Structure 1
Amino acid sequence: MKTLLIKNAKNIITMDREKNQFPGGSIFVEGQEIKAIGTHIPYETADVVIDARDKIIYPGMVNSHHHLYQTFTRNIPRAQNVELFDWLTTLYDIWRHLRPEDVYLSALVGLGELLKSGCTTVADHFYVFPNGVSDQLIDEEIHAANEIGARFFPTRGSMSLGKSKGGLPPDEVVQKEDDILQDTRRVIETFHDSSKFSKVRVGVAPCSPFSVSQDLLKESADLARSYGVRMHTHLAETKDEENFCVEKLGMRPLEMMEKNGWIGDDVWYAHGVWFNEHEITKMGHCGCGVAHCPSSNMKLGSGTIPIIDMLNSGVNVGLGVDGSASNDSSNLLLEVKMMNLLHNLQHGTTALSAEDCLYAATKGSSKVLGWEDALGSLEVGKAADLFMIDTTRLEFAGALFDDVSLPILAGTPKVDMTIVGGEIVVEEGQLVNINEQQIAVKAQAAAQRMFETAAKHT
């Protein structure tokens, strides 16, 4: 197997159980796996040798919730300064014009931004399948992830409850439930790899309480557990969602999920802003995870996650960028900073440190995805997923006092090198496996076409 030696690092921030650091340290990698790490390791050469002098090395971050297809609907004027339901109804009119090549290009753009911000593993939630377009759209995202070199956790989303049946999405972007379940089986059987250093794992992910039926929730849970894959959905994001569930179903969102089999240590929810104390305690006991998406929650005015209560109750909390259009960025390092600032404001300046927020983006997210045996920290036996920052950059001058917090509190949210499974995917701040400029031109043209097509049909 190919070997990699990273040597002479200014520091290695491991995020392991003891929070070890290795100033002047080295890492030796065989294939995807870290074989040695520390200041004195018995390796002096390898197939690839990187001199990390002046560089600080961090574990690759894990994005626990995203919607890559939304990359083409960022900065849309009519979708600004609105709350979730109005934001969705505005953008559904554009998303219904998605083509397979749009999904592929938007995934390349979003994944590229994430890799350039130190994110090495991406969980994506894809749930829009317009009528008359191939139902194999998630395949395009997987192809893009493989091409660009990201570790990928796509979740096969679904919507079956259109406006004509009392749901929020237009009928043009929902599917029949039998078709959803059949294609979900296909995606799992075709792409899911449960091995430790897998590059693709698949999850099952009905979109939300207001876009799927309870029958689909039950059948999706049964299907996921029959294959041993994880389950994901939006939950407790807004007060509107809570009111929808109480008024139409006579239950709070988590109660509805529990009734339909959507609670347990194989389940994680996106957002979790409006869980109450009793629900948080229950999630802690059963092992449910939550993907915290601070920028999206702030942008849409959804509220602030009760993160201190969750952590104290043993809820697994990871970090997510959320859809590019509700952010409007795909930068996980920036998201760590937003998390830190938000909870300083909401819970006080001693509630969460920058290191606590980095933990959520690394170890926390790996636990949420059930992948902590390989991801989230730099240790022997784990994946060589990492990023480096060059401390000689101008924006770090006068800030070299705390290596853990440095890229969160100071400088611009970008990295100099990203490595996934021992392979360099970002070097000197640029993507290695694709031509960024060519993709940017193609992507903007596709986004413009979708926008203009939607305008003609309104």
Structure 2
Amino acid sequence: MDQVTVITGCAIATVDSRGTEYREGYVVIRGNRIDAVGAGEPPEPVAGAQGIRRIDGSGCLLTPGLVNTHHHLYQWITRGLAADNTLFEWLTTLYPIWAGIDEDAVRVAATGALAALARTGCTTTTDHHYVFPREGGDLLGAEITAAAEVGLRFHPCRGSMDLGASAGGLPPDHVVESLDAILAASAEAVARWHDPSFDAMVRIALAPCSPFSVTPELLRESAALAREVGVRLHTHLAETIDEQDYCAQTFGCTPAQYMEQLGWLGPDVWYAHAVHLDDAAIETMAGTGTGVAHCPTSNARLGAGVARIADLVRAGVPVGLGVDGAASNEASSMIEEPRNALLWARNRGGPRAMTVRTALELATMGGARVLGRAAEIGSIEVGKLADLALWRLDTAAHAGIEDPVVALLLGSPPPLAALLVNGREVVREGEVRTVAMDTVATEVAQAQVALRAKAG
């Protein structure tokens, strides 16, 4: 018989299409799916059932779990480096260090990064892993193992680079792969791990890194392969002025125009950052359903610019949020991303550019749409998967803020009373229950020292 979990006494922001909210309500979970949601007390026979797990949500706000649409988990063991550099300077500083990663380093880094995400309300995360040293071992497998241990729903993107510095690209030659090797590894990753089922915990996407680190042939062939095997496509795009200048000089067009020429448009594609877009690019993306992973904290950390998120949302472009790699967002706090998205949107477009509830939607349903999982996650509705974040708002820091959604996003980041992923409790009262955090912290520190020593 399926485990029954009942959460009661909490405010609820369902983030459904009607914006339904309850000042005090309940959610009933059977197995890994939401069975009932409503105001007041749960109906019989649940209210009197025996042997069910009960979570008292008094003083809390229940939201859908947050969805992280862009990350680089391996960077958790290279945080704090090149802190005052531009993106291109930052990359050239870190590539020689990243060239030393191996299977064990990636497992440690991914475990630390995923646990940090869990503590900040994230239930589903992507990862864009594009550095595959020749002697590194099974790097994608290492992070998939880590995600299963921590307990998050995981969309790893098999990234790639085939344009080294000697051929005019940015990455050093020793961290790029051949086109044939990339395509073979990409097909193998999909065959080995991709799960298209409704409640899948792992889905694969294909993700050549960026216009300045891959060839046009890799972009074309990856798109063809992804569509043949039925997975999504992801890449960095229009992140900085440097990238815009590179595309103008190398291809004679903008980054968005370049990707359009190569078939990288459609509801199966999402771009990370998309900071520097003109009106024509936004219109094209809206018309084709091409999505965006907005990374406001990382964009600010690297000084990349302020994305036109209010314009993208208004145009109908699918937009989710991402923390980006931990080396350009050391906190990697998913709950800070909707707040920062809201603040940057208003800073650019004025006080009405974005509402608090739109910001929450970007972090939940927006991300679900970008990842093609809007029917499964992103809102609290009957039949959807039980990926839920219960935020404790009865703290001194939140006292006196009447609106719980405003308290969540504009007040101090609150502790989690509970985080459920696929019906499983991953966090309780701010503590990750699935991994030993003291051990994880020690391993992360040791891995960073070892990796930097390897780089010399």
* Band of TM-score, shorter chain: over 0.9
Q: Give 2:383's aligned residue.
A: 381
Q: CA deviation at 1:413?
A: 4.8
Percentage of pairs with the same residue: 42
Would you say 1:126 and 2:129 are equivalent positions?
yes
CA distance in 1, matches of 2:293, 2:57: 32
1:4–1:422 contact (8 Å) kept in structure 2: no
Q: Give 1:15's aligned residue.
A: 15
Write the deviation string for residues 170-219 of structure 1: whole angstroms up to 9, x where unpaired. Answer: 11111111111111111101111111111011100000001111111111
Q: CA deviation at 1:107?
A: 0.6
Q: Give 2:54's aligned residue.
A: 49
Where do 1:256-271 residues align within 5 Å? Answer: 256-271=258-273
Q: CA deviation at 1:415?
A: 2.0
Q: Secondary structure at the match of 1:367?
A: helix
Where do 1:312-327 residues align within 5 Å? Answer: 312-327=314-329
Instruction: Tell me whether 52-61 or 81-90 shows the greater mean CA deviation.
Output: 52-61
Where do 1:4-83 residues align within 5 Å? Answer: 4-39=4-39, 40-42=42-44, 43-44=46-47, 45=49, 47-76=52-81, 79-83=82-86
CA distance in 2, matches of 1:143, 1:8: 33
Instruction: Tell me whether 224-233 or 4-13 shows the greater mean CA deviation.
Output: 4-13
Where do 1:52-451 residues align within 5 Å? Answer: 52-76=57-81, 79-134=82-137, 136-399=138-401, 401-451=402-452
2:392–2:415 contact (8 Å) kept in structure 1: no
1:333–1:414 contact (8 Å) kept in structure 2: no
CA distance in 2, matches of 1:50, 1:414: 15
Q: CA deviation at 1:222?
A: 0.6
- Residues 101 and 365 (structure 1), Cα distance of their counterparts in 2 relative to 1, 3 Å cut: same
1:111–1:145 contact (8 Å) kept in structure 2: yes
2:308–2:345 contact (8 Å) kept in structure 1: no
CA distance in 2, matches of 1:287, 1:154: 21
TM-score by length of 1: 0.96
CA distance in 2, matches of 1:85, 1:316: 28
CA distance in 1, matches of 2:331, 2:58: 31
1:6–1:52 contact (8 Å) kept in structure 2: no
TM-score by length of 2: 0.97
CA distance in 1, matches of 2:158, 2:7: 40
Root mean square deviation of aligned Cα = 1.2
CA distance in 2, matches of 1:14, 1:357: 14
Give the letter for the 1:120 counterpart.
T
Instruction: Tell me whether 7-16 or 424-433 shows the greater mean CA deviation.
Output: 7-16
CA distance in 2, matches of 1:27, 1:183: 42
CA distance in 1, matches of 2:176, 2:210: 12
Q: CA deviation at 1:328?
A: 1.6
1:5–1:48 contact (8 Å) kept in structure 2: yes
CA distance in 2, matches of 1:353, 1:380: 26
CA distance in 2, matches of 1:280, 1:98: 37
Give the letter for the 2:156 counterpart.
P
Write the deviation string for residues 420-447 of structure 1: whole angstroms up to 9, x where unpaired. Answer: 0111000110011110001100111001
Q: Secondary structure at the match of 1:325?
A: coil
Write the deviation string for residues 213-246 of structure 1: whole angstroms up to 9, x where unpaired. Answer: 1111111001000011010000011111111111
1:123–1:155 contact (8 Å) kept in structure 2: yes
Q: CA deviation at 1:271?
A: 0.5
Q: Secondary structure at the match of 2:303?
A: coil
CA distance in 1, matches of 2:344, 2:277: 18
1:204–1:230 contact (8 Å) kept in structure 2: yes
Unaligned runs of 5+ in 2: none
Write the deviation string for residues 348-398 of structure 1: whole angstroms up to 9, x where unpaired. Answer: 112112211111000111111110001110000111111112222221122
2:393–2:407 contact (8 Å) kept in structure 1: no
Give the letter for the 1:447 counterpart.
Q
Unaligned runs of 5+ in 1: none
Give the letter for the 1:280 counterpart.
I
Q: Give 1:2's aligned residue.
A: 2
2:65–2:123 contact (8 Å) kept in structure 1: yes
CA distance in 2, matches of 1:24, 1:349: 30
1:34–1:381 contact (8 Å) kept in structure 2: yes
CA distance in 2, matches of 1:414, 1:122: 19
How many residue pairs get matched?
A: 451
Write the deviation string for residues 260-312 of structure 1: whole angstroms up to 9, x where unpaired. Answer: 11111110000001111011001000000000000111111111111122112
Q: Secondary structure at the match of 2:397?
A: helix
